[in-house]
Amino acid sequence: METPVLLAIAAAGIALLLVLIIKFKVQAFVALLLVSILVGLAAGIPLTTIPATDDAPEKLGVIQAITAGLGGTLGSVAVLVALGAMLGRLIEVSGGASSLAGRFTSMLGPKRVSAALTAAALVLAIPVFFDVGFIILVPIIYGFCKAAGVNPVKFGLPVAGIMLAVHVAVPPHPGIVGGAALLGADLGWVTILGLAVAIPLGVLAHFVAKIINRREFTMLPATARDFSAFGSRGDDNASGGNTGNAENSGKGGTGTLTKKEAPPTAGTIMTLILVPLALIMAGTIASTVLPAGDPMRPLFAFIGSPVLALLVALILAFFLLTVRRGWSLSHTGEVMEAALPPAAIVILVTGAGGAFARVLTESGVGTALAETMTATGLPILLLGFLISLTLRASQGSATVAILTTGGLLAATVAATDYSPVQIALITLAIAFGALGLSHVNDSGFWVVTRYLGLSVADGLRSWTVLTTVLGVAGFLLVSVLWFIVSAAGI
């Protein structure tokens, strides 16, 4: 099939995907599967698999291609997302977020509350999903803002901004993990470079939010009532107390702490977050530094496996947050299981994104796109960023934007002799494209604006601006790293 026809089919498929998700509110998993089938049939993929012959290799059928794409993506994503979700849930329910925020505030001082909360949010966002992590921190934000006599948006905006930046760019979050799987990127390098970019973005989020907050935002009436009543109903203060009202967190229910149970220390939470990161980084650095054939390379590769690293962190959390603090096994099981239903939805959408990418590959769209992109002369970093940013603005989901862009560029990356570090940077460029232009079609937009009391117009003036600035800044930092790596021949 001619290249223009294949590209037109791919463009029509993406347009249909956006219409189904945005206009008709079709669930992303179902929409991706449906569009995958239609694109595959339109591009000439056979109804069933055609066996290999002497003249031609095996050609997968539409359903077989979708199944292969689902299986290939889920094989590398599902375990990581599930383990990360359970680790984040244990930190959430134990009250660890409050301890972390309180510790950072005491270190930086009361005059730097916004910076302290932003720093704590950056660390907390590594194992905890964006929406969940922000909601966990809302009582802490309210407490500090009420004590300081300021609007919640003053402290809440930079917190939300850096949490979303970490969510799109740092494993084990599903978008970046799935994108890395599609492009064949090394998760260790993605983690190292993603964190290296996220840290300066945290500083930038703090200062950009200060500029945005020079405007006085009128709080929505419903949020104003909740904020006014905060602290008068037994809510937690911002000093790191308990974060919930379960009757007995050690014996039943999946709420957070009781008023009799002290939260874990900030050091404990930092340990749980840093241990898996250290293991992954050790494996990646060892594979780079140690020569081929060194007997220690397999050991470090095993230790640095993201699955093993998260499993070690989860085992530590089981001991430090539950066993040592007297939780019953039944309650611990309930808390961990409660993390899986939301994670299952994310896993399925991620897998469907992989199926769509496989269909694009089997149909020849990926090769056609690679040839077309080569002709345009656009650098692959810029192309990945722009495609992802466009998809993010069009359909709202950062995860879907990363996965779709990764699928479109997979053939180009595979056909070019990029180093592992360069592939990781391409993945991050795509991720930061998915950070920008969060607006009304993004569920995160509504979470942030409702909790901070922003109207839609004010949300566009503040939250949308902040995410876009962070996305562009993240891409620019990745570009700088690309030039350094290319010049060094890494």
Q: 392 with 398: CB under 8 angstroms?
A: yes
**Closest C-alpha to 125, from 205, 58, 6:** 205
Q: 472 with 436: CB under 8 angstroms?
A: yes
CB within 8 Å of 263: residues ≥ 6 apart: 94, 95, 96, 98, 99, 240, 241, 242, 243, 257
Residue listed under structure tokens 């992802």: 388
CB within 8 Å of 247: residues ≥ 6 apart: 253, 255, 258
Give the separation between CA 475 and CA 480, rounded to whole angstroms.
9
What integer pLDDT is reported at residue 254 of this predicted model? 42
Strand, helix or coil at 59? strand
Sign for the CA dihedral angle at 51, 57, 62, 66 comes to positive
**Closest C-alpha to 424, from 74, 130, 162, 181:** 181
Bond from prior residue into 342 cis (ω within 30 degrees of 0): no
pLDDT per residue as tens, the chain (490 positions): 788 888 888 888 878 877 887 678 787 788 889 988 999 999 999 999 988 887 788 888 999 988 988 887 677 678 877 887 788 788 778 877 667 666 777 776 667 778 878 888 888 788 777 876 787 677 678 777 877 778 889 889 999 999 999 999 998 788 898 899 889 999 889 999 999 999 999 999 999 999 999 988 888 887 788 778 765 544 443 333 333 333 333 333 444 444 456 788 878 888 887 888 788 778 777 876 788 788 888 898 888 887 888 899 899 999 999 988 888 899 899 989 988 886 787 678 767 877 877 887 788 776 676 566 556 778 889 989 988 888 788 667 788 788 888 888 888 888 888 999 999 999 999 999 999 988 876 777 877 888 888 888 888 899 999 999 999 999 999 999 999 998 888 8
| AA letter at 199 | I
Q: 404 with 384: CB under 8 angstroms?
A: no
CB crowding 337-355: b at 16 or more within 10 Å, else e: eebeeebeebbbbbbbbbb
What integer pLDDT is reported at residue 200 of this predicted model? 95
The answer to pTM > 0.85 is no
**Closest C-alpha to 253, from 322, 315, 333:** 333
- Taking CA atoms, 381 is separated from 22, 158, 476, 478, 485, in Å, by 27, 26, 10, 9, 13
- Residues composing the chain: 490
What integer pLDDT is reported at residue 204 of this predicted model? 95
What integer pLDDT is reported at residue 245 of this predicted model? 36
What integer pLDDT is reported at residue 208 of this predicted model? 95
Phi-psi domain of 198 (left: phi exceeds 0; alpha: psi -120 through 50; beta: other) = alpha
Phi, psi (rounded to 5 degrees) for 59: -120, 115
Give the separation between CA 392 and CA 435, rounded to whole angstroms.
8
| AA letter at 157 | L
Alpha carbons within 13 A on the beta-carbon side of 311: 8
What integer pLDDT is reported at residue 416 of this predicted model? 85
DSSP notation for 269-320:
HHHHHHHHHHHHHHHHHHHHHSPTT-THHHHHHHHT-HHHHHHHHHHHHIII
What integer pLDDT is reported at residue 279 of this predicted model? 84
What integer pLDDT is reported at residue 394 of this predicted model? 67
- Long-range contact list for 301-305, CB < 8 A, 24+ apart? 303/279, 304/188, 304/279, 304/280, 305/280
What integer pLDDT is reported at residue 294 of this predicted model? 85
Report helix angle 340-363 to 62-94, nearest 10.
150
Residue listed under structure tokens 């300081």: 148
